[in-house]
Amino acid sequence: VGTGAVAAVDLGATSGRVIVGRVGPDTLETTTVTRFSNDPVVAGDGLHWNLVGMYGSVLDGLREAFRASPEIASIGVDSWAVDYGLLRRGRLLGEPFHYRDERTARGVETVHARLPHAELFERNGLQFLPFNTLYQLAAEDRELLEFADTALLVPDLIGYWLTGVARAEVTNASTTGLLRVLQAAWDDGLVSSLGLPRGILPPLIAPGDRLGALRPSVAAALGASDDTPVTAVGSHDTASAVVAVPMQADAAAYISCGTWGLVGVEVEHLVLGRAALEANFTNEGGVDGRIRLLHNVMGLWVLSEAVRQWERREGHRIDLPTLLDAAEEADGPVFDVNDPRFLAPGDMTPRIDAWCDEHDVPRPRTRAEYTRSIVESLAQAFADSVADAARIGGVDVRSIHIVGGGSLNELLCQRTADRSGMPVLAGPVEATALGNVLVQARAAGFVSGSLESLRDLVARTHAPRRYEPRA
């Protein structure tokens, strides 16, 4: 055990970054080497990610990282969940679809005609989200699906390009809906009853496992040594974020707040009963076999998409801190942020208006009021889901940790404390990258121990900011 360095690639729905982490028994530091935007494109048949372009940015970032820190001992990759690329003999058959593409509705119909959600839930333990991988695969072009020999989730695809090894990391695989949740193995029966090809799903791999060494050509291009490994991490970004929540899992809830607000508790056993089904909770796979019992709340997406439309209309940037200051002085009605109408890209204010009209709630009038309304609605949805998580998971929740970009939003943190009646502990903002770094560092031997000791290191090096609930 000594201090060492690893590189984390963290791809989010709006931006990606390459980070170097330095870790030792009393050290946890990160340096962001590059940050690049992630700009989905409507191209031909729908909304796609520009993954090849992002891979180029990842390579640039890693090259920079190895130049500055030649001692980097390992690379780990995480991203958002559910989306995949189809390949044949190593070649990508078109850019992956964005999970917000409308085609998923077709897949939901096809799948539910064979298996209703309640039956699926017993097998895969997932909340219903229209974009879960199984619905996307069911909406896929049949010929293309049969032509493909491999399907790889986004971080697995990046890992494959780096190493030539095709595997499915299990925390992210748990979001596909195709894992037999009690066994953490592909559900062959489900795959065949949905008429999907089983052969395209690669062998599973767990966080901490070695995926493989860099391809010699990649190592040369990065200036890295040939034997630098890519290590599997919690490749689902939310799984990595939960690793780095400085919480006591038996007394706290977490909210991993970025584009989405993932609200839940960590438990040791699956929770598959009626209460979880009715509250639409999910059992996603966590690092070290833990279960992330959580619910997807719409998240900062609603705010950032509203701001994006206002900027487009005005032709200039809107300063978010200024907008949030104005929102602090304004009033705003609470609407249901989880309403599916807020899922697709586009103008949010008319959708908020329509929701208010349908529910006899006065509409917000100014941008400050819309902003306040979105923040209040998120805070309420967070408080509600924390209460659900505590009840369903049987956890005596006494505080709420908010990590990710949302932990910097003071109004959101304070209003979540107020509306839940519990203290909110905000930060670290870069929890996902820290979780990625920590799992690699443990595999490399720079730290050791359970998630509890990794979280203790986070708490010692990244003290959260506390918000007390106000009456």
- Both tokens of residue 224? 């890295």
Select from 30, 240, 259, 380 the one that contacts ligand LFR (CB under 6 A). 259
Site string for ligand LFR, 98-117 (x = CB under 6 A): -x------------------
Select from 104, 124, 176, 238 the one that contacts ligand LFR (CB under 6 A). 238
- In the complex with ligand LFR, the residue whose CB is nearer, 16 or 332, is 16
- In the complex with ligand LFR, the residue whose CB is nearer, 103 or 367, is 103
- In the complex with ligand LFR, the residue whose CB is nearer, 73 or 439, is 439
- In the complex with ligand LFR, the residue whose CB is nearer, 219 or 303, is 303
Which of 83, 237, 384, 388 is catalytic? The answer is 237
211 is an interface residue for ligand LFR by CB under 6 A:
no
Measured distance between the N- and C-terminal CA atoms of the chain, rounded to whole angstroms: 48
82 is an interface residue for ligand LFR by CB under 6 A:
yes
**Tokens 């695969």 belong to residue:** 137
Span near ligand LFR by CB under 6 A; candidates 143-151, 233-241, 242-250, 308-316: 233-241
State the minimum distance, in angstroms, from the CB of residue 292 to ligand LFR.
Answer: 9
Q: What is the largest CA-CA distance in the chain?
A: 64
User: Burial of 317 by CB count in 10 Å (0-12 exposed, 13-18 middle, 19+ buried)?
Assistant: exposed
- DSSP structure string for 411-429: HHHHHHHHHHTS-EEE--T
Select from 262, 413, 426, 447 the one that contacts ligand LFR (CB under 6 A). 262
CA 200 to centroid of chain Cα atoms: 23
- DSSP structure string for 121-181: HHHH-PPP-TTSHHHHHHHS-HHHHHH-SEEEEHHHHHHHHHHS---EEHHHHTTSS-EET
**Tokens 């990282």 belong to residue:** 65
296 is an interface residue for ligand LFR by CB under 6 A:
yes
Cα 177–Cα 178–Cα 180 angle in degrees, nearest 5: 100
State the minimum distance, in angstroms, from the CB of residue 397 to ligand LFR.
Answer: 20
d(CA 253, CA 53): 36
- In the complex with ligand LFR, the residue whose CB is nearer, 14 or 69, is 14
451 is an interface residue for ligand LFR by CB under 6 A:
no
State the minimum distance, in angstroms, from the CB of residue 460 to ligand LFR.
Answer: 27
255 is an interface residue for ligand LFR by CB under 6 A:
no
d(CA 243, CA 453): 10
Burial of 84-104, coded b for 16+ CB within 10 Å and e otherwise, reads bbbbeeeebbebbbbbbbebb
d(CA 231, CA 436): 10
State the minimum distance, in angstroms, from the CB of residue 262 to ligand LFR.
Answer: 5
Span near ligand LFR by CB under 6 A; candidates 22-30, 79-87, 382-390, 455-463: 79-87
Select from 237, 305, 369, 388 the one that contacts ligand LFR (CB under 6 A). 237
Calculate the dihedral angle through the C-alpha atoms of 128, 349, 81, 381, rounding to the nearest 10 degrees: -60
Span near ligand LFR by CB under 6 A; candidates 183-191, 259-267, 302-310, 344-352: 259-267
d(CA 422, CA 12): 29
137 is an interface residue for ligand LFR by CB under 6 A:
no
Select from 54, 81, 352, 378 the one that contacts ligand LFR (CB under 6 A). 81
d(CA 134, CA 143): 17
26 belongs to the catalytic site: no
Task: Report how many residues bind ligand LFR under the rule CB under 6 A.
Answer: 13
State the minimum distance, in angstroms, from the CB of residue 457 to ligand LFR.
Answer: 24
DSSP 374: H
- Catalytically active residues are 237
What are the residues binding ligand LFR (CB under 6 A)?
Answer: 13, 80-82, 99, 236-238, 258-260, 262, 296
